[in-house]
Amino acid sequence: MEDYHKPDQQTLQALKDTANRLRINSIRATTAAGSGHPTSCCSAAEIMSVLFFHTMRYKVQDPRNASNDRFVLSKGHAAPILYSVWAEAGFLQEAELLNLRKIDSVLEGHPVPRQVFTDVATGSLGQGLGAACGMAYTGKFFDRASYRVYCLLGDGELSEGSVWEAMAFAGFYKLDNLVAIFDVNRLGQSDPAPLQHHVEIYQRRCEAFGWHAIIVDGHSVEELCKAFGQAKHQPTAIIAKTFKGKGISGVEDKESWHGKPLPKNMAEQVIQEIDDRIQNKKKLSPALPEEDAPIVNIRNIKMPSPPTYKVGEKWATRKAYGVALAKLGHANDRVIALDGDTKNSTFSELFKKEHPSRYIECYIAEQNMVSVAVGCATRDRTVAFASTFATFFTRAFDQIRMAAISESNINLCGSHCGVSIGEDGPSQMGLEDLCMFRAIPNATVFYPSDAVATEKAVEIAANTKGICFIRTSRPENPVIYNNNEDFHIGQAKVVLKSKDDQVTVIGAGVTLHEALSAAEQLRKEKIFIRVIDPFTIKPLDKKTILENARVTKGRIITVEDHYHEGGIGEAVCAAVVGEPGITVTRLAVSHVPRSGKSAELLKMFGIDKDAIVQAVKVAVSKSRNAE
């Protein structure tokens, strides 16, 4: 960035006038809506004016241009001022602002990517900076482009730990193309923020995290211009001392006005007062970007060669994931991997070994890892795969939920699922992950049962819209599929069948192999079972399950290394509900487990081959008794 040149008085006045027009439009929009956060908008008016009409470089009519500077409104409740900016710039019609929060308007209560100028949904506070980190990392290390990333945070959200995970990440990677602006307006929703206007404490905290931190009067356009003009070899935090409701007489810096629109009469009077301060109606135009972001194509990524496994060979699906990802990295240089210091367990280290410049170590900060992945994947710049133990994604559930609202296409791999991990005990066992990811709108949940299926899952996930979750296991199990086996989302595999089958057993991962062992044992007693591998738990192949259940007198047994709630059993029950003559028996982990050997734990929780044998015999005898 070039050295700072002080803007002339005319430009400074134009920026002040712009800030006041942004105030007026934010007040008008929220009063028309009858809800919203005008006071949170007004504290940020000068910040937004300087950012969008002096500092940032972007094409107004092409908000998602790859070379544009990026902006993330982490304090998403100030959405009306973001919409006002785009009206001021000429992208939106000013009249459209009056449709704020209406069901037929794109201008929702908080920013969402239905708006082309919004990359990530915000509003769950504390998440914007992590996504901004992903964008900045992509700009610096993958695109190697000159675009910069700006993120506006409220002081209330600075109590969120995820903010400081992002601060640590940006400081460590010296993301000098990233600027965070703290809108320190002193007041939270129900109380003052803990540090109120002690801006020097924020400054020391930022510096401790490796940031260049500048304190400014957040209502001085000149101070803001100067602060944005400073370039350092580290990320920059602009700590702006502001007043909530700035410019609204009787409301400015007063408590109890959070999230309250001004009544119509009051709004008209305030708008008149603010309008009287405007000296010139002339609108400023933003500078254009340097068009140096490379053209990227992430469509139709295919593995360079088929899998090379041998049937019967033992492989852990977690290792097959690493092998597959490393291989996929050769197919497209935009495939990237992230991990939270578990790469030697999830096997993402195999990707790092072959593609070191495309691996991002996020350390033990899973919430930030998910947000960074979301940021990296914006504007289709990368295909991001993030991995950790399945159970540690639970702490990032809000980030995953917001990723779905952001219409993100990130891929997440959770290893070490279930009690089958053995001695490490319950804190390391993913037993809630299927439930969690099944609840995510438009998510695809893969649960591959062997190395071949895992490789296919990775390839399919790379080309699938929405959040993809791949559940991998620690134990080594035999390869059961040929390398040329075809897999599709929502298509189950019938891995064992005969004309004499009496029960349909559905398992996945380790429990599929337990079901196959149970089938072998039962065959000796002339009891035959059909075994189904669902491949994807969401969407579930209802058609295949029902067709096979009807052949086996409606009897289904599900067996899973997961808690009862929200797992395979409940997914199957939901699929067959209302279907006549179908009964479902569910085998799952029933309570908090403990340490022990894998086989001991599968037995203890009744999800091993012996438990399946027993359940099949009970189902068959019940039916015989009924006859």
What are the tokens at 599? 């086989």
- The closest alpha carbon to 142, from 299, 332, 322, belongs to 332
User: 13 with 280: CB under 8 angstroms?
Assistant: yes
What is the H or E stretch that residue 168 is in? helix 161-172
User: 478 with 450: CB under 8 angstroms?
Assistant: yes
d(C-alpha 444, C-alpha 461), whole Å: 8
Q: Is residue 623 helix, strand or coil?
A: helix
Q: Which residues contact 86 (CB under 8 A, 6 or more apart)?
A: 63, 92, 117
User: 71 with 150: CB under 8 angstroms?
Assistant: yes
User: 354 with 330: CB under 8 angstroms?
Assistant: yes
Rg for the chain, CA atoms, rounded: 28
d(C-alpha 299, C-alpha 66), whole Å: 16
Would you put residue 198 in left (φ > 0), alpha (ψ -120 to 50) or beta?
A: beta
Residue found under tokens 């973001």: 82
d(C-alpha 286, C-alpha 265), whole Å: 34
Max distance between CA atoms of the chain, in angstroms, equals: 94
Helix and strand tally (H, E) in the chain?
Answer: 21, 19
Q: Is residue 44 helix, strand or coil?
A: coil
Residue found under tokens 């211009």: 225
d(C-alpha 247, C-alpha 234), whole Å: 34
What are the tokens at 534? 């669902």
Q: For residue 378, how many C-alpha atoms fall within 13 Å in the half-sphere facing its CB?
A: 39
**Which residues pair with residue 213 across a beta bridge?**
237
Would you put residue 466 in left (φ > 0), alpha (ψ -120 to 50) or beta?
A: left
d(C-alpha 432, C-alpha 391), whole Å: 7
d(C-alpha 457, C-alpha 490), whole Å: 12
366 annotated active-site: yes
d(C-alpha 73, C-alpha 67), whole Å: 19
Given 88, 366, 432, 455, the catalytic residue = 366
d(C-alpha 146, C-alpha 109), whole Å: 32
Active site residues: 366
